[in-house]
Structure 1
């Protein structure tokens, strides 16, 4: 994809996700010729076209219909300092700006993959936007090769990547961490992972999955792939998934099922990326999501379950990283759809797969501390509906915590709900 097209796709995604404003932020790519492609100054981010993207040639010549972003100096400074960086994102997403105002660098060890993606984070002191001084201060931080992300004091964040998707995933993941930390602090304390726990995550990636060669794609299987991709895209659009995390699976025939792949951005998954699991083996040439063993065991032990979604919405994760009870007895609809939602310790989904899988015989949803939430259903759309209800409810609980103590529904009211809605 041409650099201008890449920039258009990512700025659209950032704007639609509420992580920049009409006039805020800028994105650039340095191509193999050393030319910089960058968003223009003073053009609406919500209606930007490929033709609006500016080209600043290596010799300084400017090509395009507008002026390049006023922040071009610090983009140049970063590229000069770090030859391996070819893409830069600067924006003002609310949670990251909150950290920049407070002068605090976020600790991303709230979930394991976030720390791996974001790495260590720098902090650049304040300087006037668009100035050479700001470029120098940011470049000074990027001299430390540990950093691919730098918080800008009272300003926002700037992130680099080996390509545009690498930069975007780091940006999206870092904002997710900041939102989760802020919401978790409303509920109580934030429980961070140790370095050892973070490293365990890497060790649990599926590397020894057996594969089969004789693959069939009948019409019912292809229909499931299409439905899964539609749900994944919907989850991304609604902030229920981010590029770097989110697993969806659906039972196909017997205990055979389809599941999302590893190492493909969730925004960009297409039907052909989905992995077929047959007799416990994955279709050749593809790597399934890291929780594939648990999905398989859930299907084997729970015939009533036909779909599973595992993801990290910020409000549910605020409960997962704070250890606060996700009490669905506060909203009748939430309890009817989800019943009680237990929490389990970090790592249990890999260390005791059978015990976790058996939990879904009685529980529709399970929260995994510092990891994710698992939601199950008899159909994929129902499963997605339960996920929406869970995250909406978690959001209400986070907001309510700022107002006063929660007032859960009592046992007698729960019994009434069981009778009225035939909940077993």
Structure 2
């Protein structure tokens, strides 16, 4: 879907619903605006059901100030107008009161965008806007001042945030979603790990970005789509959407890959908005060459090495889930000895230094295996591998949910009681027995299949 080709009013309705469905604003909170090519401003109305806005609910403001619409204008419309007047390059403005943004606003802090590259590269510059009463000229002037000084994000003291995009409303949401993920990591790292998160330096980010280029590889024209490939394409598109819904992926943050056969695998494309993922979006890599007309994620080179090294791995997911990422931006180790599920399914984790996705690809590929599924790259991401891509997604959910559980326990001032050594030994025996039975069942199934032939 070409989102930017939609009517401005429809764009506003769709993005407002996404914000509400993501639990990033209340049913009556937040507002959006778009400046079209003719200088008309389209803005969401006051109040109403922000999860169910309709095309005709959206107001149009003409250059002469005339307002066209059936609903009352939002109280904060003058702030949108002030931002757009201060920055002629801005095309869309987003305002929301997500719990994470409000949490920053009530301590008068700005987002720590240098937590990891996926955040640093999209977040832009931010600053605090001095407090003003909602709807007041003072607040409009204070917010506009932040944007006039070159910022794209304003944290309003004791309020929420405003984001301006020079590209589109969809891009404004992608920035907001990434920042919201980052704020959760920023605020929860001291809770989970006992200290402030570590940040990457500008020089590190520059070097990372110089390396994070689409791998140079030849191209090929696919000769149709086989059944297994189509199945994996559909599975990946479904998991992209679900990863957004389950807050494992931000709008554009995250990578999914699935093996097709011994010589080929699929990977998500560069810049994909996961909520709109389609099976045809996925990029086929075959014999080291890329499906023509498509641009794969830059992780393709690393994933190729992981698949080559580990024939048992059939799916890989990389992402920055907000609670689990607390352990990636700190020295604290991720603890798998919480419940049988985390111990049995995650099995093993290992940290790699920042930049290892380029400098230590062979080491990551050597480490990851069916019984060593989780690699944590400091200040970058988690990489989880499994025999099937669905299993990798399952492991990501367990990783993030377990981190959330620890967060709740610590905030409740309770003491965590881990699984004992004896219990871990018992679990290991049970897992081995189950794996043996599954292997025997699979062998019997294959033998029966051969006999039938």
- Fold similarity call, TM over 0.5: yes
Question: Residues 198-239 of structure 1, C-alpha deviation per residue, up to 9 Å, x if partnerless?
Answer: 112211223342132321232322222121101100100111
Q: Name the CA distance, whole Å, in 1 between partners of 2:382 and 2:276.
A: 22
The answer to whether the aligner puts 1:202 opposite 2:209 as a matched pair is: yes
Which residue of structure 1 lines up, in the alignment, with residue 383 of structure 2?
A: 374
Matches within 5 A, 1:132-143: 132-143=137-148
Once the two structures are TM-superposed, the CA of residue 300 in structure 1 deviates from its matched residue by 0.6
Which residue of structure 2 lines up, in the alignment, with residue 397 of structure 1?
A: 406
Q: Name the CA distance, whole Å, in 1 between partners of 2:313 and 2:127.
A: 45
Q: Name the CA distance, whole Å, in 2 between partners of 1:312 and 1:419.
A: 32
Q: Give the TM-score normalised by structure 2.
A: 0.90
Pairing partner for 1:219 from 210, 216, 226: 226
Pairing partner for 2:158 from 142, 148, 154: 154
Which residue of structure 2 lines up, in the alignment, with residue 55 of structure 1?
A: 60
The answer to whether the aligner puts 1:181 opposite 2:186 as a matched pair is: yes
The answer to whether the aligner puts 1:274 opposite 2:274 as a matched pair is: no
Q: Is contact 1:19-1:93 (8 Å) kept?
A: yes
Pairing partner for 1:387 from 393, 396, 399: 396
Q: Name the CA distance, whole Å, in 1 between partners of 2:39 and 2:221.
A: 46
Which residue of structure 1 lines up, in the alignment, with residue 28 of structure 2?
A: 23
Matches within 5 A, 1:88-127: 88-127=93-132
Greater alpha carbon shift after TM alignment, 213-222 vs 246-255: 213-222
Q: Name the CA distance, whole Å, in 2 between partners of 1:250 and 1:207.
A: 18
- RMSD after superposition: 1.4
Gap runs ≥5 in structure 1: none
The answer to whether the aligner puts 1:338 opposite 2:333 as a matched pair is: no
Which residue of structure 1 lines up, in the alignment, with residue 442 of structure 2?
A: none
Q: Is contact 1:113-1:201 (8 Å) kept?
A: no
The answer to whether the aligner puts 1:250 opposite 2:258 as a matched pair is: yes
Q: Name the CA distance, whole Å, in 2 between partners of 1:200 and 1:255.
A: 31
Which residue of structure 1 lines up, in the alignment, with residue 440 of structure 2?
A: none
Q: Is contact 2:214-2:298 (8 Å) kept?
A: no
Q: Is contact 2:376-2:383 (8 Å) kept?
A: yes
Once the two structures are TM-superposed, the CA of residue 138 in structure 1 deviates from its matched residue by 0.9
Q: Name the CA distance, whole Å, in 2 between partners of 1:201 and 1:257.
A: 25
Q: Name the CA distance, whole Å, in 1 between partners of 2:188 and 2:14.
A: 29
Q: Is contact 1:97-1:154 (8 Å) kept?
A: yes
Greater alpha carbon shift after TM alignment, 72-81 vs 402-411: 402-411
The answer to whether the aligner puts 1:292 opposite 2:297 as a matched pair is: no
Pairing partner for 2:366 from 358, 368, 372: 358
Q: Is contact 2:84-2:90 (8 Å) kept?
A: yes
Q: Name the CA distance, whole Å, in 1 between partners of 2:58 and 2:94.
A: 14
Question: Residues 331-353 of structure 1, C-alpha deviation per residue, up to 9 Å, x if partnerless?
Answer: 11111111122222111121011
Question: Residues 249-280 of structure 1, C-alpha deviation per residue, up to 9 Å, x if partnerless?
Answer: 00012131000011222222222221110111
Please identify the structure whose Cα radius of gyration is greater: 2
Q: Name the CA distance, whole Å, in 1 between partners of 2:323 and 2:223.
A: 40
Once the two structures are TM-superposed, the CA of residue 404 in structure 1 deviates from its matched residue by 4.0
Matches within 5 A, 1:294-333: 294-333=302-341
Q: Name the CA distance, whole Å, in 2 between partners of 1:216 and 1:315.
A: 42
Q: Name the CA distance, whole Å, in 2 between partners of 1:372 and 1:216.
A: 34
Gap runs ≥5 in structure 2: 1-5, 436-453
Greater alpha carbon shift after TM alignment, 318-327 vs 398-407: 398-407
Q: Name the CA distance, whole Å, in 2 between partners of 1:24 and 1:84.
A: 26
Greater alpha carbon shift after TM alignment, 357-366 vs 396-405: 396-405
Q: Name the CA distance, whole Å, in 2 between partners of 1:130 and 1:180.
A: 31
Aligned residues: 423
Q: Name the CA distance, whole Å, in 2 between partners of 1:9 and 1:54.
A: 15
Tell me: CA distance 1:343–1:32, structure 2 relative to 1, closer, same or farther (3 Å): same
Q: Is contact 2:29-2:47 (8 Å) kept?
A: no
Stretches of 4+ aligned residues off by more than 4 angstroms = none
Q: Is contact 1:260-1:273 (8 Å) kept?
A: yes
Q: Is contact 1:100-1:152 (8 Å) kept?
A: yes
The answer to whether the aligner puts 1:407 opposite 2:417 as a matched pair is: yes
